[in-house]
Structure 1
Amino acid sequence: MASWSHIQDSIFGWELLQALAWERIFRRKDADPKTQHMFEQFEQRYSQPEAYGSALAHAHEARLECANLFRDCDVLLVPAAAGEAPEGIGNTGTGDTNFNGAWSMLRLPCLTLPMGLGSAGLPIGLQLVARRGEDTTLLNAAAYVEACLTA
């Protein structure tokens, strides 16, 4: 099976190209240079319908395989990122998505709570993940964890 990041990138790339097809075809010159560059990169990497279909099949298989993750618990507590938030988030987007991308691809609800500050004084996050469809369980667990962190 392909890596989760490759599967997610293939699905996201294809769906972005489809969702922004009109803009790419008719208004590309009006987009900012960063967006134009993104269109070019995605068109080169993610324009094959067969690859998209394969990625969807792999994602479905991965979702079936993750059913046992919650056998002994209601939520998972995992890192949100490898370190603290990036400085100047306006220049970096939303930061590193490597730690939550898999949960999105698996269609599992997840959220991040700030749990402190790193050495640069920027937030460090803690991520909670629940079973598919268990959003209320996730929110209740997050409220409990947040109360523990702020106590």
Structure 2
Amino acid sequence: MSTSWDYTELAARMMGLTEKEYEALEESGDEYDKIDEMLSEKYDISLDAFMNVARALLPMTMPQRTAIGGQLKYVMGVFESVDNTHFRSIVDAECTMFKVGSIVRLKIGNDRMRITSIADKEALCQWRVDRNLEIKSFPLACLTLIEL
């Protein structure tokens, strides 16, 4: 889950500041006020309003798979290499677009399961243990999306 500091960095990067320039602002302790002023001058929007807009837009981004764990997340970030091949996520949120056919697992970890139906914030899932088909219902809040 992203914090307000992450959104402040996202705003700074959107305003054209490099990572080093943003770090210098952080060290000065007044990054919030400076970024708020920059956003106000350029877009006539406060940093708080920017954070609200960015949070609302985040679920509209293309889900990306995390390097560790393979979890799908919505992300906003920056390309950091000269040839734009290295992407660094600044803000992220868990992807929760569950649908019939999605591959999931429990947040506490288990085998991959396929959702066969969704109703009332519950998903009916099936998976195989050896050659046996297992079927059980789980609250959506307990599941992590692996594949859409």
TM-score range, shorter chain: under 0.3
More helix by share: 1
Query: Relative CO higher for 1 or 2, CA cutoff 8 Å, sep ≥ 6?
Result: 1
TM-score (structure 1 length as normaliser): 0.25
Name which one, 1 or 2, has greater alpha-carbon Rg.
2
More strand by share: 2
TM-score (structure 2 length as normaliser): 0.26
